[in-house]
């Protein structure tokens, strides 16, 4: 399965992946998911935003289409950040199929349905809202509101899904279908490397947010405009980026300006506008708020000195997530004479949305030898991935017995 999807959306020059939502690469991955489910005789469903769910049911347990019973949902996402790595998301989807294959080979018959999921637009790389598919599926974001989102080119999400044959029907009603959610994911840090462990169980997710900073000034000639006569928003942005770095370091938290748009974006012109997006993460919601407030103050102070203006708009804010503690301990407890470590993560996941919506939720992490993620260098060893499949199969068997 991994070999089947490896070429999809891969950039030959960088080795990274461009699997943005509702593009040709995304459609190929959806077709792969449907094919993998159909090969196993699983029913496949989708919804207007493109969330995919395949269902493993055992006929002898008297499931019906109308009343299948609440099941164990397992899965992740298939989309990527721009020039992202191979493992972030797809590893969890492939591992879900592989774990179910393993259980079927062993003759295991689940006492409740097992639902395999691939959520849409998890990264927020096109429409700016992280975990958008799971937010719509849980009701955290209304479908009517999601349809009005625009990508950087101005395309409405409603038009993007219509072009690939989605957009009709109603979102999935997971509250009627799901008893527990499990997500396997490559670790996007070094906890497991430092512990020399191939597998870990998630404790929770740091709170985080995305904030748009609009810096405005006066366009002018780069050669004829003396420095003291300029109202340069690029200067204000640059000093704000440095301030964000300093505030995060002082607080032991995370602040990143990773996306910038400039107008008119000419080498020989002082820009009139710079729009930049801040990704802020911390170990508590209060720490996020304190850090963003400090960066905002620095930006405003600098704008006053530069003769520019700045407006800050929160675009996506997620609170802290504490996964079900009893479930995490139960999953982590005693495997071949030892426990899997329970570790935190500062990365956002669909599991966080599911947990916030009230579903008992757990995460399994697979060791990443370098800790590098959201990059072509993202990696996991095959042996660790297979250990992840075994761990996921064991978890599903325990939950569905």
User: Collapsing DSSP states into helix, strand and coil, what is residue 340?
Assistant: coil
DSSP string covering 285-318: HHHHHHHHHHHHHHHHHHHHHHT-EEEEEEEEEE
Tokens of 369: 């030898």
Residue 196 is encoded by which pair of tokens? Answer: 């020399």
On the question of a cis peptide bond just before residue 264, with omega within 30 degrees of 0, the verdict is yes
Does 292 lie in the same domain as 248? yes
How far apart CA 61 and CA 142 sit, in angstroms, is: 35
Residues 140 and 232 in one domain: no
Shared-domain flag, residues 54 and 137: yes
Q: What per-residue confidence (pLDDT) applies to 9?
A: 96
pTM comes to 0.86
Give the range of the structural domain holding residue 183, as residue numbers without chain letter.
Answer: 2-206+320-399
Q: Rounded to an integer, what distance in angstroms lies between the CA atom of residue 277 and that of residue 256?
A: 8
pLDDT tens per residue, range 37-46: 999 999 999 9
142 and 58 within one domain: yes
For residue 335, what pLDDT is reported? 75
Residue 65 pLDDT more than 60?
no
Calpha distance 330→339 (Å, rounded): 10
Count structural domains, the chain.
2
pLDDT for the residue 67: 45
Last residue of a domain, one of 287, 318, 349: 318
Report the range of poorest mean pLDDT among 158-172, 230-244, 289-303, 382-396.
158-172
Mean per-residue pLDDT over the chain, rounded: 94
Task: Examine the domain organization and report whether 193 and 69 are in the same domain.
Answer: yes
| CATH number (domain holding residue 388) | 3.40.630.10
Domain boundary (318, 352, 376) is at 318
Confidence of residue 352 (pLDDT cuts 50, 70, 90): very high
pLDDT for 337 equals: 65
CA 27 – CA 47 distance, rounded (Å): 14
Q: CB-based contacts of 214: which residues, under 8 Å, 6+ apart? A: 273, 274, 275, 310, 311, 312, 313
Rg (CA), the chain: 23
Distance CA 284, CA 296 (A): 18
Q: Which of 318, 351, 370 is the last residue of a domain?
A: 318
Q: Are 344 and 290 members of one domain? A: no
- Write the pLDDT tens digit of every residue in 270-329: 999 999 999 999 999 999 999 999 999 999 999 999 999 999 999 888 889 999 999 999
């Amino acid at each position: 399965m991994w070999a089947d999807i490896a070429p999809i959306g891969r950039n030959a020059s960088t080795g990274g992946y461009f699997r943005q939502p509702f593009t040709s690469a995304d459609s190929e991955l959806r077709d792969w998911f449907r094919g993998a489910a159909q090969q196993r005789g699983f029913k496949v469903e989708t919804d207007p935003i493109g969330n995919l769910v395949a269902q493993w049911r055992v006929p002898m347990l008297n499931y019906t289409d109308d009343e299948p019973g609440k099941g164990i949902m397992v899965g992740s996402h298939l989309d990527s950040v721009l020039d992202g790595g191979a493992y972030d998301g797809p590893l969890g989807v492939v591992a879900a199929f592989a774990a179910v294959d393993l259980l079927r080979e062993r003759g295991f018959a689940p006492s409740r349905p097992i639902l395999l999921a691939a959520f849409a637009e998890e990264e927020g790389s096109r429409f700016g809202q992280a975990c958008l598919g799971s937010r719509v599926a849980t009701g955290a974001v209304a479908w009517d509101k999601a349809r009005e989102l625009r990508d950087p080119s101005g395309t409405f999400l409603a038009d993007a899904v219509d072009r690939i044959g989605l957009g009709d029907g109603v979102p999935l009603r997971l509250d009627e279908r799901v008893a527990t959610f499990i997500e396997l994911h490559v670790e996007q840090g070094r906890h497991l490397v430092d512990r020399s462990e191939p597998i870990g169980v998630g404790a929770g997710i740091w709170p985080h947010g995305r904030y748009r900073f609009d810096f405005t000034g006066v366009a002018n000639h780069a050669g004829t405009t003396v420095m003291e006569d300029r109202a340069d928003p690029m200067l204000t942005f640059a000093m704000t980026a440095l301030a964000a770095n300093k505030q995060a370091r002082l607080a032991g938290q995370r602040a990143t300006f990773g996306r910038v748009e400039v107008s008119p974006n000419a080498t020989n012109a002082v820009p009139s506008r710079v729009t930049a997006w801040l990704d802020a993460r911390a170990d508590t919601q209060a720490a996020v708020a304190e850090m963003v407030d400090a960066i905002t103050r620095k930006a405003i102070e600098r704008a006053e000195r530069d003769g520019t203006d700045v407006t800050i708009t929160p675009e996506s804010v997620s609170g802290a997530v504490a996964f079900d503690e009893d479930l995490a301990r139960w999953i982590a407890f005693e495997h071949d004479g030892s426990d899997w470590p329970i570790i935190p993560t500062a990365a956002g996941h669909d599991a966080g949305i599911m947990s916030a919506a009230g579903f008992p939720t757990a995460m399994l992490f697979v060791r990443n030898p370098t800790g590098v993620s959201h990059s072509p260098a993202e990696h996991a060893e095959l042996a660790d991935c297979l250990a992840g499949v075994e761990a996921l199969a064991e978890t599903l068997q325990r939950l569905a017995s």
